Amino acid sequence: MNRREFSTLGAATIAALGTNLAVAQPVAGTNFLKLSQPQPTLDANKIEVLEFFSYSCPHCFAFEPAIDTWSRKLPADVLFRRMPVAFREVPFVLHQKLYFAIETLGLVDTLHRKVFAAIHVERNPLDTPEKVLDFVAKNGVDRAKFADVMNSFGVATKARQASTLTAGYKVDGTPAMGINGRFYTSGTLAGGNEASLAVTDYLVAQIRKTKG
The string of pLDDT tens digits covering residues 53-106 is 999 999 999 999 999 999 999 999 999 999 999 999 999 999 999 999 999 999
Mean pLDDT of 190-206: 97
- Other C-beta atoms lying within 10 Å of the C-beta of residue 151: 12
Q: What percent of the chain has pLDDT over 90?
A: 87
The CA distances from residue 157 to 11, 41, 103, 145, in Å, are 31, 16, 14, 18
pLDDT at 120 over 80: yes
Within a domain: residue 2? Answer: no
- Other C-beta atoms lying within 10 Å of the C-beta of residue 161: 15
Within a domain: residue 59? Answer: yes
Within a domain: residue 79? Answer: yes
Which residues span the domain enclosing 180? 30-211
pLDDT in tens, 30-61: 999 999 999 999 999 999 999 999 999 999 99
Q: What is the pLDDT of residue 5?
A: 40
pLDDT at 2 over 90: no
Given a contact cutoff of 8 angstroms between Cβ atoms, the answer to whether 131 and 124 are in contact is yes
Give the total number of structural domains in the chain: 1
pLDDT at 12 over 80: no
Within a domain: residue 205? Answer: yes
Q: Under 8 Å CB-to-CB from 87, ≥6 apart: which residues? A: 3, 54
Q: What is the pLDDT of residue 211?
A: 78
CB hemisphere CA count around 28 (13 angstroms)? 7
DSSP string computed for 142-196: -HHHHHHHHTSHHHHHHHHHHHHHHHHTT--BSSEEEETTTEEEEHHHHTSHHHH
Q: What is the pLDDT of residue 6?
A: 35
Mean pLDDT rounded to a whole number for the chain: 91
Given a contact cutoff of 8 angstroms between Cβ atoms, the answer to whether 176 and 184 are in contact is yes
Within a domain: residue 147? Answer: yes
- Three-state DSSP class for residue 84: strand
Q: Under 8 Å CB-to-CB from 109, ≥6 apart: which residues? A: none
Q: How confident is the model at residue 212 (pLDDT cuts 50, 70, 90)?
A: low
Q: How confident is the model at residue 13 (pLDDT cuts 50, 70, 90)?
A: very low
pLDDT at 10 over 70: no
User: What CATH number has the domain bearing residue 70?
Assistant: 3.40.30.10
Gap between the Cα atoms of 172 and 3, Å rounded: 6
Given a contact cutoff of 8 angstroms between Cβ atoms, the answer to whether 111 and 121 are in contact is no
pLDDT at 23 over 90: no
pLDDT at 197 over 50: yes
Within a domain: residue 175? Answer: yes
125/13: higher pLDDT: 125
Within a domain: residue 103? Answer: yes
Within a domain: residue 85? Answer: yes
Given a contact cutoff of 8 angstroms between Cβ atoms, the answer to whether 85 and 52 are in contact is yes
Gap between the Cα atoms of 212 and 205, Å rounded: 11
- Three-state DSSP class for residue 88: coil
Mean pLDDT of 6-34: 58
Q: What is the pLDDT of residue 151?
A: 98
